[in-house]
Every structure is written in C-alpha cells, then in structure tokens.
Amino acid sequence: MALVVTAVVLPLVVVLLVLSRVLGGEDADDRSDDAVAEVDGTPVPERADLPPLPVEVPPVTPEADANCPALMGALPLELAGEQSRPVQSDSPYAYAWGEPPVVLVCGVERPAALEPTSPLITVNGVDWLVDTSDPDDIVWTAVDRPVYVRVTVSADTDSAPVAALGPVITGTLPVQPVDAGG
C-alpha cells in the first residue's frame, strides 16, 4: 500500500513543485543550490564538506537542455545516506554524492553496449543497462527515458543509490520505449 501511495504522491509533489516554480516566476539561476525546507525538528541536509569532484561529461545536446533541468531540480541533497557534494564539469547536468562518490550525469550518449539482446534490470520503474566491465566502478544507465542518465558507483556499492533515484527519474522524465538499435 505504501508503494502505491508513493507512486501516486511523488509525481503529484513533483508536478506541484514545477508549477510553483513556473507560476512563481522563480528562475533556476535565482535559487540557492543549498535551499532546503526545514520541517519541524527534521535536520536540514547539507552538502558534504568535500572538494569539488571533477566529472567528465559529453557535450550538452538540445535533448539534454529540454529534459535534464527537471531531473536536476528534483535531485535530493542526500542519497542512500550520502550527502551531495560539489562537482566541477562542463555541464550543468552532473551531480554527485558522498565518498566514494555516486555520480549522476543526465544527457549522456547512448551506451555502445545497448543492443536488442542486452539484459536490462528494472529498478523502481526504470530500465537500467548495467556495465560491470571496470573493476573499480559499476555504471548504471537509464535507457528508457528521452535522454540517457548515467549513474556511476564504486564496485563495492550496492544498488541503493539507483533504487533511491528511480522515483526521481520516473517523476521527472517520461518513460519511452528502449531504443536498442537493431
């Protein structure tokens, strides 16, 4: 029952947040990246006191500019127990949490390994292509959205960050058929 309530309430909250920003006339550049509402006794999450993380990103595409701002605006300051941290990149569509870092990049290129026979893992409503070829990192790429979203975690990190990001992705990026090339 809680999952059904979450599936209904989360998209509604996202829509209300987007409408309040649009109707309120607040520009994304006018917002503080650290702005978080405090709710009766709930500690306000803060950014981790870590140095900026260099993140390599592909060139920003028109598709990324059209789709990624909604996702980036909905990302939490805390993910799977890790605080967000500053990133240094050539794109506004990169975000990171903790150490070892969990790194999200929205608007990446189609994964070369994505084929019609590629095994996909569905976690919280998002279809992911998982690349474990690097012994140090696991790369999860959401492949059923209008833009590809890559989440890189250390090899010893479980799927908790990806599971936590599922509702944020489903609430901000519409699902579409997987383009597996073939």
Clarify whether residues 4 and 84 are in a common domain: no
State the pLDDT at residue 31: 38
Domains in the chain: how many in total? 2
Within-domain flag for 72: yes
State the pLDDT at residue 171: 98
Q: For 148-164, write each residue's pLDDT tens digit.
A: 999 999 999 999 999 99
Tokens representing 13 are 């909250």
Tokens representing 127 are 């279809």
Clarify whether residues 166 and 118 are in a common domain: yes
Report the pLDDT averaged over residues 49-65.
95
The residues, ordered by sequence, that sit 6+ positions from 179 with a Cβ below 8 Å of its Cβ are 110, 114, 143
Within-domain flag for 40: no
State the pLDDT at residue 50: 87
Clarify whether residues 129 and 163 are in a common domain: yes
Clarify whether residues 64 and 139 are in a common domain: yes
State the pLDDT at residue 101: 97
Clarify whether residues 59 and 12 are in a common domain: no
The answer to whether the beta carbons of residues 149 and 67 sit under 8 Å apart is no
Clarify whether residues 23 and 78 are in a common domain: no
Clarify whether residues 25 and 77 are in a common domain: no
Within-domain flag for 3: yes
Ranges 31-40, 52-61, 109-118: which has the least confidence: 31-40
Within-domain flag for 180: no
State the pLDDT at residue 43: 53
Within-domain flag for 161: yes
Clarify whether residues 89 and 26 are in a common domain: no
* Residue 162 lies in domain: 45-172
> Comparing C-alpha atoms, which of 147, 161, 179 is closest to residue 69?
147
The answer to whether the beta carbons of residues 68 and 147 sit under 8 Å apart is yes
d(CA 131, CA 112): 11
Within-domain flag for 39: no
Clarify whether residues 22 and 64 are in a common domain: no
Clarify whether residues 118 and 58 are in a common domain: yes
Clarify whether residues 16 and 94 are in a common domain: no
Clarify whether residues 102 and 154 are in a common domain: yes
Ranges 21-25, 130-134, 140-144, 152-156: which has the least confidence: 21-25
The answer to whether the beta carbons of residues 142 and 130 sit under 8 Å apart is no
**The one-letter amino acid at 7:** A
Residue 23's pLDDT band, with cuts at 50, 70 and 90, is very low
Within-domain flag for 36: no
